[in-house]
Amino acid sequence: MTLEGEHIYLRALEKGDLDFLYHLENNTDVWEISGTITPYSKNVLQLYLENAHRDIYDVKQLRLVVCNLAHEAIGLIDIFDFDPKNKRAGIGIVIINASDRNKGAGGEALEVLYKYAFNTLDVHQLYANILEGNQASIHLFQKHGFELVGTKKDWIFSNQKFKNELLFQKLNN
């Protein structure tokens, strides 16, 4: 199975992704959704890249780079909290530059990854945690069949206030 869409493909992290990862992980605009509260050094990210090859069954996560057909890295998509016993995992995506958003890349990446999770990893359910006001992400996940199944009240503390986080789920039926 290839991890390709019509206009994007997903690939494993490589050593050459250090600058991209550094830029993304230190972008304060995405800290709220990633739970990051301090910057990452290039040394820490280099160590992460050196271990990125570890098996999903060992580390319970998989991070892939979203690339356009010009072979440019435009985002990351993750499987996290992989639980093969209960056949479930979390899924998250970020397209780093606003100029690359709302062009279908995120939707294609999401579809490629959930098909991989269902067909290759034998996952029965995927879930996504989305901040209540993140209309773009809510629309993206709902468009791809994820259903709102709950609200986590006052779940995220950001900018001196609490925010609700919505729980979306997609079952492999």
What is the tens place of the pLDDT at every residue in 37-46? 788 898 988 8
- Please give the Cα distance from 88 to 160 (Å, whole number): 33
What are residue 102's DSSP bridge partners? Answer: none
In a domain, 3, yes or no: no
Number of domains forming the structure of the chain: 1
Does the pTM of the predicted model rise above 0.95?
no
Contacts of 165 (CB under 8 A, 6+ apart): 129, 130, 131, 132, 151, 152, 155, 156
Residue 2 lies in a domain: no
Total residue length of the chain: 173
pLDDT digit string, tens, across residues 106-136: 999 999 999 999 999 999 999 999 999 999 9
What range defines the domain where residue 61 resides? Answer: 8-171
**Residue 96's domain is classified under what CATH number?**
3.40.630.30
Highest mean pLDDT among 85-89, 94-98, 132-136 belongs to: 85-89
